[in-house]
Structure 1
Amino acid sequence: MKKYFLLFLVFLPAISFSQSFKKSEPFTHTYSIVARDSVTGDMGVAVQSHWFNVGGIVIYGEAGVGVVATQSLVNPSYGPKGLALMSQGLDPQQALDALLANDSGQMYRQVAFLNSKGQVAAHTGSLCIAEAGHRKGKNFSVQANMMLNNTVWNAMAEAFEEATGSLSERMLAAMKAAENERGDIRGKQSAAILIVKGKSTGNSWEDTVMDLRVEDHENPTQELERLIQIHKAYDFMNKGDLAMEKGDSVEAEKLYLNAQKLFPENLEMQYWYAINLLNNKQFEKAEPILKSIFKQNKDWKTLTSRLIVSKLLAVSNEELQQILSW
């Protein structure tokens, strides 16, 4: 009887720890950046790791409030709780200190907070796996753990400070810099970026500027860069559609062309540009574009006919038949 009792005492804690560890504290070692665009006020957080679906665990953001990166032995509650505390008026350092003070595992955490004023706070626990560290700057913080080299976070900071362009482009520059320092000691797997507005509109669907994830890829940062480029192209498309709805065909044409420059192989972008040309009665300009599209996929002809009913294509029946003959 004593034998079984002793086995029970030794074995039970191991089972209990394993279940608790896997459920509540994912082993997400990584590098990340939280940053704010001083011109637009937009706030972003980006991450890369050798871990599946890293974006679903590490990054959090709320328009008008701030962004959070929580990593290492992750306590995901730092995301929603940190945003809630900042929304109540606490600055990032106060919010982070409050959570760390009530976390018995704080020595394993690596966390960064940034608010809508550009204030930042960061923490790298004493037991985070080396190489680990962070660096704060004006409107940003970069942090990394389990890196091959201890040069990663400084390289990220310098790249962000020196980069030009949009917030996503500057954050991407920091991510690339991390990879140039050889990044995560285990390699690469997933990446993500989230950008929210500095001021909330009250409509969540309008407040997210960008939300892209690469869940499993041999080169996730490179793939994320490709998706960011496509995102920009579709942003031009969306703005072109709005201009088209308002009857500003000149502005719509300019926006559609900008989209095509970023994503030239995409047939749909070419198609809507051509439809806009038809609505402007520029048939000669639209004809070679639509001929090429129809040759590659005849289903676009079927769609063209349906646009008449939806009042997105304003041509006569005779003109429609001419278009369909191309």
Structure 2
Amino acid sequence: MTFSICVRETYEDDDGDEQTRFGVAVTTRLPGVGTMCPFVSEHGAVATQSLVNERLGRKGVEYLDDGLGVEDALQSLLNADANAPARQLHGVGRDGEFAFSGDECMDHYDDVVGDGYTVAGNLLTGSEVLEATSDVYEGTRDDDRPLALRLIDALEAGHEEGGDKREDLTVQSAAVKVATTEDREPEPYYDDLRVDATETPLADLRETYEYAKQGYEAALEKYGDAYEDDDMDAAEE
């Protein structure tokens, strides 16, 4: 019922220190996908879908936070799951990637594992959905634009190739989440966004992103000194 992308990227912060960021983005032809499927922390990103089990995503990220490799973390959860054949579970950790699609997932389903990213989907119009998602992400990896926006770009490419095939289900949703090892104050508002019920989920998610970015920049301009000093007395009146 869903397709999604999980990614890992390294970059240099403004001080020249190497940082790692993780992101996950997802869309489906059902409401509220952002409440169930995408999970992220500064140690990794996980998406759980098909017959959704939120515990797989939540515990998967907890295991990554505890230092497990992504394959060990997610495979151990699947090994203990009696309904594993109906699951899709994929993600990235600090040092690897993992994707699983059970043989009871509904066609068309598949997953892609690339260098620093995974893509998976089910109930798709065809394999071109995941191919387009992967291609657009790979083509934007060197962009200076924020990861959240580039993940929306990738999902839009898959959607334009057909996306979720259940056209009779018009109420849809989408979400994007990003976390990083960098200490940022405040956290950008545009790194955790959801559109829970709409007929145009990715267009609405992009618009929400643009408003969130605008609001973040306005807040920094108005309250930047207060954030830096951790003191509201420094805030502009």
Superposed displacement of residue 30, structure 1 = 0.3
Q: d(CA) in 2 for partners of 1:162 and 1:312?
A: 41
Q: Are 1:197 and 2:180 counterparts?
A: yes
For the pair shown, which has the larger CA radius of gyration, 1 or 2?
A: 1
Q: Deviations over 1:68-105 (max 9, x none)?
A: 10000011111121112212221111111101111111
Which residues of 2 match residues 212-231 of structure 1 at below 5 A? 212-231=193-212
Q: 1:169, 1:207 → 2: CA distance? A: 12
- The one-letter code sitting in structure 2 at the alignment partner of 1:50 is R
| RMSD, aligned α-carbons | 2.5
TM-score computed with the length of structure 1 as normaliser: 0.62
Distance 1:161 1:49 in 2: 22
Q: How does 1:90-109 map to 2 (within 5 A)?
A: 90-109=68-87
Q: Which amino acid aligns with 2:117?
A: F
Q: Which has the higher contact order (CA 8 A, sep 6+)?
A: 2
Structure 2 runs not aligned, ≥5 long: 12-18, 228-233
Look up the match of 1:87.
Answer: 65
SS of 1:42's partner is strand
Matches within 5 A, 1:228-247: 228-243=209-224
Greater helix proportion: 1
The one-letter amino acid paired with 2:153 is A
TM-score by length of 2: 0.84
Paired AA for residue 29 in structure 2: H
Provide the rounded CA distance (Å) in 1 between the counterparts of 2:224 and 2:206.
Answer: 27
Paired residue secondary structure (2:181): coil
Task: State how 1:142-181 maps to structure 2 within 5 Å.
Answer: 142-163=119-140, 164=143, 165-181=145-161
Return the alpha-carbon distance in structure 2 between the equivalents of residues 78 and 311 of structure 1.
42
- Please tell me whether residue 128 in structure 1 is matched to residue 105 in structure 2: yes
Residue 238 of structure 1, CA deviation: 1.8
User: Whose strand proportion is higher, 1 or 2?
Assistant: 2
| Counterpart-to-counterpart distance in 2, 1:311 and 1:107 | 54
Deviations 1:256-313 (Å, cap 9, x if unpaired)?
Answer: xxxxxxxxxxxxxxxxxxxxxxxxxxxxxxxxxxxxxxxxxxxxxxxxxxxxxx9845
Residue 148 and residue 71 in structure 1: after superposition, are their counterparts in 2 closer, same or farther (change >3 A)? Answer: same
Partner of 1:141: 118
Instruction: Give the aligned partner of residue 52 of structure 1.
Output: 31
Judging changes above 3 Å, is the alpha-carbon distance between structure 1 residues 134 and 215 closer, same or farther for their aligned structure 2 residues? same
2:47 to 62, 69, 72: 69
SS in 2 for 1:192: strand
Q: Counterpart of 1:272?
A: none
Report if aligned partners of 1:109, 1:128 keep a CA contact under 8 Å in 2: yes
Q: How many residues align?
A: 219
**Alpha-carbon offset, residue 242 of structure 1:** 3.1
Query: C-alpha separation between the residues in 1 aligned to 2:99 and 2:8?
Result: 15
Cα offsets for 1:171-195 (capped at 9, x unmatched):
1121011111110011451011111
Which residue identity is paired with 2:104? L
Q: Is the 8 A contact 2:39 2:47 kept in 1?
A: yes
Question: Could you list the runs of 4 or more consecutive aligned residues of structure 1 that deviate by over 2 angstroms after TM superposition?
Answer: 198-201, 205-209, 242-246, 310-313
Q: 1:311 to 1:162 in 2, by over 3 A?
A: closer
Q: Secondary structure at the match of 2:175?
A: strand
Gaps of 5+ in 1: 1-28, 247-309, 314-326
Shift of 1:169: 2.2
Corresponding position of 1:33 = 5
What is the CA distance between 1:244 and its match in structure 2? 5.9
Identity of aligned residues (%): 28
